[in-house]
Structure formats: C-alpha cells, structure tokens
C-alpha cells in the first residue's frame, strides 16, 4: 500500500492531517484566487496547465469541499 498525504492545504490554506491509501484519494484542479479575474475575463479560455490551474491529490473527504466551489473540480476519480 502506498501512503499518501492529503494536499488540500494548497487550495484551502489550512494544513490537512489526513494520510492514507492512494486509492482513497482523487485529483482536483483549482484556479488560484489571484488568477480568477483574468481567467473569467478570458471567458474561462485555456486548459491545464496553460490556464494557470493547479492540480493536487486530496482525500475523498476533502474533495467533497470542491463541490462548494465554482473554481475547483475533480479531474481524476481513481487513486
């Protein structure tokens, strides 16, 4: 089993203490706050990584927080 730490602190700004199996994680893509205005002005043009989005691997619990944001989405379901 490969142990992986949750990287959600990159986008939430708070360190996550979750660690577990890679199979219990997903990859999310999010737009950093400082790039959102220019991204919106460009009508959301561009794709990762050229649009400035960031991808991080997070626990499934932390990924549930993504559903509350228009600036993040799950891009890889499998760990």
**Does the pLDDT value for residue 1 go beyond 80?**
no
Q: Where are the domains of the chain?
A: 3-76
Burial class (CB in 10 A: 0-12, 13-18, 19+), 18: middle
Residue 74 and residue 68 in contact, taking contact as beta carbons nearer than 8 Å: no
Each residue's pLDDT tens digit, 21-75 = 999 999 999 899 899 898 888 887 778 888 889 999 999 989 988 777 888 889 9
How far lies 36's CA from each of 41, 50, 61, in Å? 8, 14, 25
State the pTM of this model.
0.81
């Amino acid at each position: 089993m490969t142990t992986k730490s949750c990287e959600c602190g990159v986008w939430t700004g708070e360190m996550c203490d979750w660690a577990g199996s890679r199979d219990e994680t997903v990859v999310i893509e999010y737009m950093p706050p400082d790039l959102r205005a220019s991204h919106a002005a460009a009508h959301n043009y561009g794709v990762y990584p050229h649009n400035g989005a960031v991808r991080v691997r997070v626990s499934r619990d932390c990924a549930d927080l993504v559903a509350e944001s228009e600036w993040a989405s799950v891009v890889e379901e499998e760990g």
